[in-house]
Structure formats: structure tokens, C-alpha cells
């Protein structure tokens, strides 16, 4: 087995883009911004093939590999109409998601004549195509729905219908209403099943394609309302309401199938228990809503479904790493056996063969961006399939581990320590402290390009989950309320003292860097503890709390949301002094060290004026400061390759100047 699959590793490395930089002595910025060779992969229902979406220069390819015969049996793609995802409809047909630019034929000509042609500058549609494994007999789905042609996104598969090889369920907006259709994968023709309401954004069905639930998103109220369908009366009944904050990225990273699914005709979904602060799995039927699963002191982060259906078969939790829990005892036993190979890494099954022969799983961790492996379900053996990040060899990335330390007042804190590849403990290293954003968020033992880039420059990186972080219960989160610049700041500072005492980091060579709330912590650190750090980097960070609170209150449109701002950060009237006394912009006279400010000029989460005001205040006091504007960039500069490159370039120069 292992010999066979290693051949695929070599095949992909040969056929597709491979950077020789992995043989150099260090990792470059280009290594970190180079896209992976594989965007996604899926195993066929009979366990015979793996279909992958691959990058090859400017083109994207769909490649189908025969596992037993060790050869590619299908390869097709384009550099203008680009595939970006592939899955299996049945053993003979693939479902391929394409990005289709407006005026594709015209752009083909421009690509040949214009030297600096950039396809990403053009408007794209998403379309789903059914095709044979060799790319022949392609059929566009929804080809009979003229009313759907203006949809930007026509790839939303609701259910792959495990018991029906000829159809899938898909939704599309028809005359401003989300409508569910049954699509024939051989003809592309559609059959309407049900039309949603004014705010409907999703449907749930059972294994026989019968509609059971829908959910509506109320943008103004920031709620998701869940309705149950009564087939006899052809009507919907409200069963529950979930509050949802699209501005809080920590609450906006759960996919549709993590929120809702079906088990024994009951609706299953994830909901926060506001008393404990941990998420639970809820079960709803016609008469009651009850807790299906609640794990003590542990957050449930999503549900597991059977294949690409709505049938819920388990759930995922996270402490330091993600772990899966299955309702079926035999499935759990098999999973637990595999998990012994991933003690400090995350892993999950990305697709399973319908006949129970093989599974494709993905793993990721501190020094592993993503690895694909094949698992034989009969022999329970796992073998390597592919590592898509060829420019980032794991041996050159920093190792990561969870550590725990006590704060000055006795609170136990979990943090994640990243050590450069050449760290041997013989001497203390220069370090960068990286507090997370939110602050109602948490770090995990995970791969993060921002973290790894800094660590591979030769710095120890520490990422503490200070009080106020989510994922550790409501009491821990509430301990950070109105503690901006105070208790939460102390927790970060205590992480530095802990590592200095352990002789891991050099107390004369510590910088602090963060984004959003983490950027605030970095700025506040230079004012509160001016002798602890040698420099600071703030990316879209906060600097003036009174202004921030007013901004947040202006854009929050419910009393619940406004009250949370006042409770967690501070009331502009009752806590006026508290907010002023913990605003870095108003404390620049205490700052001694160089500061790098980076901001996106289209940030809608943190006003970029916060960075500009901080810059003006520092220059007025003749303090060492640099400011970098990222044009056409929002709150997260790491979403775009070029802005990510720019941030890395500026950080590398800054750290090398002030932390050596």
C-alpha cells in the first residue's frame, strides 16, 4: 500500500507545479504565498478513484487517479474557465464547480495578447457541471432554468442523495426567493421541490428527499429562524431562533451542515448554551426542543453528516485539536484507532467510499498545512496520498505544542508555543508574542501561515488564550469583560515572564504583533509595559476605545448587541475613564519602542481611522512609527495573495531591524 501511494505523490509532484525552493536553506516569502498543488480531493463511491482539483501554473485541472492501477485515467481543465472543486455524483460522473468569467471567449484572446493579463480582475460566476471522469459528455446543471441564469452562484448542492445516483438537490434564487430543485446529473434538467420565504437561505431534507426544515436569516435582527415543514397542510411552523453575528468571525465560520441536519426525523443543530458558554447539539421535533449532546467543559464545533447528505451521524469537539465523535459505537472504535497516529494533529474523513472499502482523510496541525491520506477501512491501515504544500516542507516549519502557565493571580492559561526548526533549548531565542483577535475567539494547536512565517524567521512565537477568550466556558470569557488593557493584558504579559523564566526566550528580544483586537494588545503593551518589548506590530488594530465603542454602538441595530458592547468593552458614559485610560492613542507619551502600523483602507470591522489616528499621535510625540496602507483591502489582509505578501515583507524588514 505505502509503495503504491508514494508513487502518486511523485506523479503529482512531477505533473504539476513544484517549487525547487524546498531544497534551499530557508523558506522565502514566495514559499508562503505559493498556492497548494491540490485544492481539494474526493474518493469515488466504489473506492476505486480519487478525483482532485489541481493548480498547474495559470490553469486548473481536474485529475482522476485510479488507485489500484496506479495511473491517471482522466485529466481536463482550463486557464480561463477554471475548476475549483470536484466531487462524485456516482462512480462514472463527476460534479465540477467552475469559475466562469463574463465574456470568456473575449478573455481568451486578451490572455494571449496582454502581457500582464490577470483573470482575477474580472467578474466571475460559479457554475456546476456534470461530466464523465475523462471530461467528456459535460452537462451544465440548471440548463433549463432561464430565471436562474443571473445567479452569481449556481453550485449550492443541498444533498447528494446517497440512495439516488442520478439526482442531487440544489438551491437557487428565483425571482428573489430561494428555491429548492431536484437536478438530473445526466441531463442538467431541474424539477422544483419547494419555494422558500423572503429570508430563506437554506433547506433541510431527509434521506428520501422529503423537505423537513428550512432556515431564514434576518439580517437586521441578526437571527436565524428555523421552520419545520408540515406536508399535510403545506405550511411552515417556527421551531427555534438562533442569534448570529456576521461581524464576529469566530461565530461566522460554521458551514451550513454544521448548523443543521437530520437524525431520526429530528432536526439537529448546534447552539450556544449562554450559561456554560459551550455549544451543544440540539434536537427538535414537532413537540419539543431538547439537548441531544452536551460535553462538560468542551465546545462542540460542528456536526458530522453521512457523506454529502443531511443525515447527522456524529459531532466534532475541540480542545487543543479537533476530534470526531460518532453515535455508532463501531465507527467510533475505528476512528479512535486511527487517532493514535494523530496525537497532536487535527484530522477528519473528507470522503468515504460508499461500499465501505476506502476513505480519504485530511490532517493538519502546527507544522502541517494539510495532508491527504488514504485509509483502508477493511485492514484499518493508513497510507500517504499527497502533501499539497510543496514549497513548505514540514521539516523546515516550526513545531507547535500546548503549554500551560499560571498568571500573577493564579489563573491557569492555555497557550500555544511554536519553536523554530533549529531550536534545541541550548539558549533562549528572540520571540514574538501573538495575541489573537476577537477578543471572543481562541487559538488552537493549528497551522497558521502568519505564525509560521514569523517562526521560520528564527523567532519563538507564543499565542496565549487570555481571559476573555471563547471556548473555555462563560466564566472564563466574562472574566475578560471590561478588562481591555487590564486583566487580559496582564495574562499576555505573564506568558512572556513564564517563557523567560523557562529560558526559552530572551527577555531583551521580545516583540508583540497582532491583528484586530490582537493589534490593540500590541499597541497597549507598548504603553503599559514600555520596557518589556523591543517593538510592536499592529494590523488593523484598535487604538481609541471611546471612538471604537461609539462606532460599534452606531452600527449595532438591536439592544442585545448594543448591551453586549457596553458589557464587554465598556459603557461610553459609565466607563468613560476606563476607556480613555486604556486607549493607546491617548497614552503615546509612555511609548518608547518602534511601532509598525498596517491597515486595510476598506476595513469595515475596525475603522482604519484607528490606525491613522494612532500614527498621528505618535508622530506628534516624535515616537518611532511606520504606517503601511493596504489598498482595496478589508479587515483580513491574509485573504489575498498580494496583500499577504506585502504584510510579510514589511514584517520581515521591521523585525530584522528591531529584534536582532
Dist CA 447 CA 370 (whole Å) = 9
Q: What is the pLDDT of residue 513?
A: 97
Q: Grid coordinates representing 469?
A: 477568550
Dist CA 637 CA 603 (whole Å) = 9
612-635 burial code (b ≥16 CB/10 A, e <16) = bbbbebbeeeebebbbbebeebbb
CB 660 within 8 A of CB 506: no
| Cβ neighbour number for residue 137 with a 10 Å cutoff | 11
| Cβ neighbour number for residue 241 with a 10 Å cutoff | 15
530-562 burial code (b ≥16 CB/10 A, e <16) = eebbbbbbbbbbbbbbbbbbebbbeebeeeebe
Dist CA 636 CA 443 (whole Å) = 16
Residue 37: closest CA among 433, 386, 503, 526: 386
Residue with cell 467543559: 297
Q: What is the pLDDT of residue 244?
A: 62
Dist CA 545 CA 577 (whole Å) = 10
* Residues of the chain where predicted confidence (pLDDT) is lower than 50: 1-24, 246-256
* Domain 398-544+583-658 grouped into CATH 3.40.50.300: no
Each residue of 284-323: pLDDT tens digit?
Answer: 877 788 999 999 999 998 889 887 788 899 999 999 999 9
Which contiguous run of DSSP H or E holds residue 182?
Answer: strand 177-184
Tell me the C-alpha to C-alpha distance, in Å, between residue 111 and each of 59, 79, 105.
12, 9, 10
Q: For the residues of 135-181, what is the DSSP string, one character each? A: S-S-EETTTT-GGGTT-SEE--EEE--TT-TTEEEEEEEETTEEEEE
Which contiguous run of DSSP H or E holds residue 224?
Answer: strand 223-230
Each residue of 418-461: pLDDT tens digit?
Answer: 999 999 999 999 999 999 999 999 999 999 999 999 999 999 99
The helix/strand/coil state of 285 is coil
Residue 555: closest CA among 217, 219, 216: 219
Report the DSSP beta bridge partners of residue 433. Answer: 462, 512
Residue 571: closest CA among 550, 591, 597, 592: 550
Preceding omega of 286 cis (within 30 degrees of 0): no
Residue with cell 517563557: 499
Each residue of 168-211: pLDDT tens digit?
Answer: 999 998 888 999 999 999 999 999 999 999 999 888 888 778 88
Dist CA 92 CA 236 (whole Å) = 38
| Helix %, strand %, coil % of the chain (to 5) | 25, 35, 40
pTM of the complete model: 0.88
Q: What is the pLDDT of residue 616?
A: 97
For residue 563, what is the DSSP state? H
Q: Grid coordinates representing 80?
A: 480561463
Q: What is the pLDDT of residue 233?
A: 80
Q: For the residues of 480-495, what is the DSSP string, one character each? A: TTT-TTTHHHHHHHHH
Q: What is the pLDDT of residue 576?
A: 96
* Sequence-separated (6 or more) residues with CB below 8 Å from residue 605: 247, 516, 540, 634, 635
Amino acid at each position: 500500500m505505502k509503495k503504491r501511494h508514494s508513487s502518486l505523490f511523485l506523479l503529482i509532484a512531477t505533473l504539476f507545479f513544484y517549487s525547487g525552493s524546498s531544497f534551499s536553506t530557508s523558506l522565502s516569502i514566495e514559499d508562503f504565498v505559493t498556492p497548494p498543488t491540490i485544492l481539494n480531493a474526493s474518493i469515488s463511491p466504489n473506492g476505486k478513484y480519487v478525483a482532485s482539483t489541481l493548480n498547474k501554473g495559470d490553469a486548473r485541472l481536474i485529475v482522476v487517479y485510479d488507485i489500484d492501477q496506479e495511473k491517471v485515467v482522466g485529466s481536463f481543465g482550463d486557464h480561463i474557465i477554471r475548476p475549483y472543486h470536484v466531487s462524485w455524483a456516482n462512480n462514472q460522473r463527476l460534479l465540477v464547480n467552475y469559475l466562469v468569467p463574463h465574456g470568456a471567449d473575449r478573455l481568451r484572446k486578451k490572455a494571449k495578447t496582454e502581457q500582464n493579463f490577470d483573470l482575477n480582475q474580472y467578474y466571475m460566476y460559479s457554475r456546476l457541471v456534470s461530466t464523465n471522469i475523462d471530461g467528456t459528455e459535460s452537462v451544465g446543471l440548471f440548463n433549463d432554468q432561464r430565471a436562474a441564469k443571473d445567479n452569481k452562484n449556481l453550485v449550492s448542492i443541498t444533498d447528494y442523495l446517497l440512495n439516488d445516483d442520478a439526482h442531487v438537490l440544489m438551491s437557487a434564487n428565483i425571482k428573489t426567493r430561494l428555491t429548492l430543485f431536484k437536478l438530473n446529473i445526466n441531463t442538467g434538467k431541474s424539477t422544483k421541490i419547494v419555494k422558500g420565504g423572503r429570508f430563506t437561505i437554506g433547506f433541510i431534507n431527509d434521506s428520501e428527499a422529503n423537505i423537513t426544515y428550512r432556515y431564514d436569516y434576518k439580517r437586521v435582527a441578526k437571527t436565524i429562524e428555523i421552520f419545520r415543514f408540515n406536508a399535510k397542510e403545506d405550511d411552515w411552523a417556527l421551531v427555534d431562533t438562533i442569534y448570529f453575528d456576521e461581524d464576529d468571525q469566530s461565530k461566522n465560520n460554521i458551514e451550513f451542515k454544521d448548523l443543521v441536519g437530520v437524525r431520526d426525523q429530528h432536526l439537529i443543530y448546534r447552539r450556544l448554551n449562554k450559561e456554560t458558554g459551550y455549544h451543544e447539539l440540539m434536537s427538535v421535533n414537532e413537540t419539543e426542543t431538547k439537548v441531544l449532546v452536551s460535553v462538560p467543559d468542551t465546545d462542540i464545533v460542528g456536526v458530522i453528516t453521512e457523506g454529502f447528505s443531511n443525515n447527522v451521524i456524529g459531532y466534532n469537539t475541540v480542545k487543543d485539536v479537533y476530534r470526531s465523535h460518532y453515535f455508532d459505537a463501531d465507527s467510533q472504535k475505528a476512528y479512535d484507532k486511527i487517532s493514535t497516529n494523530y496525537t497532536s494533529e487535527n484530522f477528519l474523513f473528507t470522503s468515504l467510499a460508499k461500499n465501505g472499502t476506502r476513505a480519504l482523510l485530511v490532517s493538519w496541525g502546527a507544522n502541517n498545512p494539510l495532508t491527504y491520506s488514504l485509509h483502508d477501512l477493511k485492514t484499518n491501515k493508513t497510507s500517504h496520498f499527497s502533501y499539497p504544500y510543496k514549497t513548505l516542507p514540514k521539516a523546515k516549519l516550526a513545531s507547535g505544542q500546548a503549554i500551560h502557565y499560571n498568571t500573577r493571580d493564579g489563573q491557569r492559561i492555555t497557550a500555544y508555543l511554536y519553536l523554530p526548526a533549529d531550536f534545541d533549548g541550548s539558549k533562549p531565542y528572540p520571540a514574538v508574542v501573538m495575541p489573537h483577535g476577537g477578543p471572543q475567539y481562541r487559538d488552537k494547536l493549528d497551522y497558521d501561515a502568519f505564525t509560521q512565517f514569523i517562526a521560520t524567521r528564527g523567532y519563538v512565537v507564543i499565542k496565549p488564550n487570555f481571559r476573555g477568550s471563547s471556548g473555555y466556558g462563560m466564566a472564563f470569557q466574562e472574566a475578560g469583560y471590561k478588562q481591555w488593557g487590564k486583566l487580559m493584558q496582564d495574562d499576555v504579559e505573564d506568558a512572556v515572564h513564564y517563557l523567560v523564566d523557562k529560558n526559552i526566550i530572551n527577555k531583551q528580544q521580545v516583540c508583540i504583533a497582532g491583528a484586530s483586537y490582537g493589534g490593540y494588545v500590541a499597541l497597549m503593551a507598548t504603553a503599559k509595559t514600555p520596557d518589556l518589548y523591543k517593538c510592536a506590530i499592529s494590523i488593523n488594530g484598535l487604538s481609541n476605545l471611546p471612538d471604537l465603542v461609539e462606532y460599534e454602538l452606531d452600527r449595532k441595530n438591536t439592544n442585545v448587541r448594543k448591551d453586549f458592547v457596553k458589557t464587554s468593552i465598556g459603557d461610553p458614559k459609565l466607563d468613560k475613564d476606563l476607556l480613555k485610560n486604556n486607549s493607546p492613542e491617548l497614552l503615546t507619551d509612555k511609548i518608547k519602542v518602534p511601532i509598525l502600523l498596517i491597515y486595510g483602507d476598506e476595513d469595515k470591522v475596525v475603522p482604519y481611522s484607528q490606525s491613522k489616528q494612532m500614527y498621528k499621535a505618535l508622530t506628534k510625540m516624535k515616537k518611532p512609527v511606520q504606517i503601511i496602507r493596504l489598498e482595496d483591502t478589508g479587515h483580513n489582509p491574509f485573504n489575498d495573495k498580494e496583500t499577504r505578501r506585502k504584510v510579510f515583507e514589511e514584517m520581515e524588514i521591521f523585525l530584522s531591524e528591531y529584534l536582532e
